[in-house]
Amino acid sequence: MLIPLLKTYLAPYKRSIAALVVLQFVATAASLYLPRLNADIIDNGVTRGDTDYIVSTGMWMLGVSLVQIVCSVAAVLIGAKAAMGAGRDLRKSILHRVGTFSAREVGQFGAPSLITRNTNDVQQVQLLIVMGFTILVMAPIMCIGGVVMALREDIGLAWILLIAVPGLAISMGLIVVRMVPGFRSMQIRIDAVNRVLREQITGIRVVRAFVRERFEIDRFAVANDSLTDAALRVGRLMALMFPTVMLISNVTSVAVIWFGGHAINDGTMEIGSLTALLSYIMLILMSVMMASFIAMMVPRASVCADRISEVLATESSVVLPAAPKAFVTTPGRVELRNAEFSFPGAQFPVLSGVDLVAEPGKVTAIIGGTGSGKTTLINLIPRLIDVTAGQIMVGGVDIRELDIDILRSEIGLIPQKPYLFSGTIATNLRYGKSDATDEELWEALEIAQGADFVRKMPDGLETAVAQGGTTVSGGQRQRLAIARALVRRPSIYLFDDSFSALDLTTDANLRGALKPVMKDACMIVVAQRVSTIVDADQILVLDDGRPVGLGTHEDLVITCPTYAEIVDSQHAVAAS
């Protein structure tokens, strides 16, 4: 997949690449011309004592060297710019593709692997492009040109090249072929190290609470040692490359000097020609070595390209409509018709047989035991995942026919685990409505019962927030997430167990403040506490992914054993 990937992302830089090839050709031609000029100085200047010839030819050599330097520098600059541009475009494409993924695809790859693919993997491909522009373009020109120039000096020693060049190429090829599996293993183990490190940083409080520091250190050491072992295996192969090159180069030089010395003694060769021939042979071998150096990078870049292409080739299970509808007929209405969701290859569906109508101005609650499918149901409505059977209507339109941006603009989702971005409280609240005024932010905070603690902060709305919202408490983070959704003023609110971190008083005050806001909006609440949903217009009870009751609190206590059991268990806990 490396070649198709390079073709795609280097296509916009065709002109730059063409200019680079021309510059590299001129620079390489200049470097090949210098040994010939040096030979002329020795044969026609030094041996004859002609100082004027030495000076004039030396000045000519300086001019050629200047051309070589200018062209080489320009080629490197152009190549680096094209490589950086291609890397930028590649990272952008990966990010865009991942942005279209549903929760299913994100879970399939895993966050650590996706991060590695968009950073380390792209960097390896980008490095190959840079080195390829710098070396790979020059190497074949230098090798072919060096052979031609060497043969012009003395065709009688061509047999040395016929042995040395293929010998070096075969040696390098054997080493590189053995490095491919090693690089593939390294990338997989980098993923493992990233995964373990991410888990440990995210769960540091849990690790400390359970005094598991030593266990986590050992777990990281296993992943780290595994990566180290893979890197060492590749490193040992890499360590063979330069000694092999030096051995062949030195043996070749000795052979040229030996047989060239005899030719000079016989009068069939000039000293300058021998010097030039040595230079050309070294240039040829250096070009093969540089090509081998690039070949050494190709396996790892190829593995990385495969991993990148895997992401780019993965289509989201949430398929966008070919001709999306750009409006809803009845804003704020949500209807589920025999909705079902199953993970690929699962024996039983996570959610099945759900029929529900949530009307504007009314509160619909969802309750059930752990693993009953409550969060899955909430995630189906904004198409974070797609139903595998049945139908979901939002605003009177099937969500699979509705423009996904229009769909999600109708919805304010407060997830089970609220997440705040690095920035300020104001930037987080404006996430769904960038032009919201400070008055709108404070109004949302008042409703979400968050205005008091924000006012107590030293900078108010401009108080800095760390990534993930770790600088505020869990309850404050949850109230800020609720306020963020309120600022947007959508027609549908999805509260996914969003009151669990609040005390009962704050919970009651928040629900009371929400009533005026929700008079024209649909409110769907997932809750664990019965007290949170006791006043809901309708309550859907889920058990093992299937609906087992639908009605008001008073009706369900009588007609639904599962709901009655939940109520009794919570009353018993409260009483104790």
Using pLDDT thresholds of 50, 70 and 90, give the confidence band for residue 179: confident
Tokens of 282: 């070294």
Q: What sign for the dihedral angle of Cα 10, 11, 12, 15?
A: positive
Residue range 68-84: average pLDDT?
A: 90
From the list 520, 559, 514, the residue with the least C-alpha distance to 532 is: 514
Report the interhelical angle of 271-313 vs 122-131 (nearest 10°).
150
Task: Give 254 or 294, the one with higher predicted confidence.
Answer: 254
Quick check: 517 and 524 in contact, CB under 8 A?
Answer: no
**Mean pLDDT for the chain?**
85
Quick check: 486 and 431 in contact, CB under 8 A?
Answer: no
The strand pairing partners of 424, in sequence order, are: 464
Measured distance CA(1)–CA(309) in Å, rounded: 7
Share of the chain above pLDDT 70, in %: 99
The strand pairing partners of 402, in sequence order, are: 325
Weakest mean pLDDT among 85-89, 121-125, 235-239, 409-413: 235-239
Tokens of 229: 């072992």
Interacting residues of 528 by C-beta distance below 8 A, sequence separation 6+: 367, 497, 500
Using pLDDT thresholds of 50, 70 and 90, give the confidence band for residue 420: confident
Q: So what's the pLDDT on residue 576?
A: 55
Measured distance CA(532)–CA(500) in Å, rounded: 9
Count each helix (H run) and each strand (E run) in the chain, helices first. Answer: 21, 12
Q: So what's the pLDDT on residue 575?
A: 56
pLDDT tens-digit map of 10-40: 889 989 989 988 998 898 888 888 887 877 7
Measured distance CA(82)–CA(15) in Å, rounded: 10
Query: Is a pLDDT exceeding 60 seen at residue 191?
Result: yes
Measured distance CA(133)–CA(233) in Å, rounded: 28
pLDDT tens-digit map of 159-171: 777 788 788 778 8
pLDDT tens-digit map of 246-284: 888 788 888 878 887 777 777 777 777 777 777 887 888
Quick check: 235 and 296 in contact, CB under 8 A?
Answer: no
Name the maximum alpha-carbon separation found in the chain.
118
pLDDT tens-digit map of 444-476: 999 988 888 899 888 888 988 887 777 888 888
Measured distance CA(305)–CA(1) in Å, rounded: 6
What DSSP letter does each residue of 115-179 carry, written as one string?
HHIIIIIHHHHHHHHHHIIIIITHHHHHHHHHHHHHHHH-GGGHHHHHHHHHHHHHHHHHHHHHH
Measured distance CA(86)–CA(80) in Å, rounded: 10
Task: Give 110 or 539, the one with higher predicted confidence.
Answer: 539
Q: Give the amino acid at 287.
A: S
Q: Give the amino acid at 110.
A: G
Share of the chain above pLDDT 90, in %: 17
Q: Is 0.75 surpassed by the pTM of this model?
A: no
Task: Give 497 or 357, the one with higher predicted confidence.
Answer: 357
Q: So what's the pLDDT on residue 488?
A: 87
Quick check: 509 and 475 in contact, CB under 8 A?
Answer: no
Q: So what's the pLDDT on residue 574?
A: 57
Residue range 318-330: average pLDDT?
A: 82
Weakest mean pLDDT among 44-58, 78-92, 225-239: 44-58
Residue range 322-349: average pLDDT?
A: 85
From the list 377, 355, 352, the residue with the least C-alpha distance to 366 is: 377
Measured distance CA(285)–CA(317) in Å, rounded: 52
Q: So what's the pLDDT on residue 273?
A: 75
Burial code of 205-219, b = ≥16 C-beta within 10 A, e = fewer? eebeeeeeeeebeee
Whole-angstrom distance between the N-terminal and C-terminal Cα of the chain? 64
From the list 156, 134, 115, 166, the residue with the least C-alpha distance to 28 is: 134
Query: Is a pLDDT exceeding 90 seen at residue 66?
Result: yes
Q: So what's the pLDDT on residue 288?
A: 76
Interacting residues of 450 by C-beta distance below 8 A, sequence separation 6+: 476, 479, 480, 482, 483
pLDDT tens-digit map of 102-120: 877 887 888 878 888 888 8
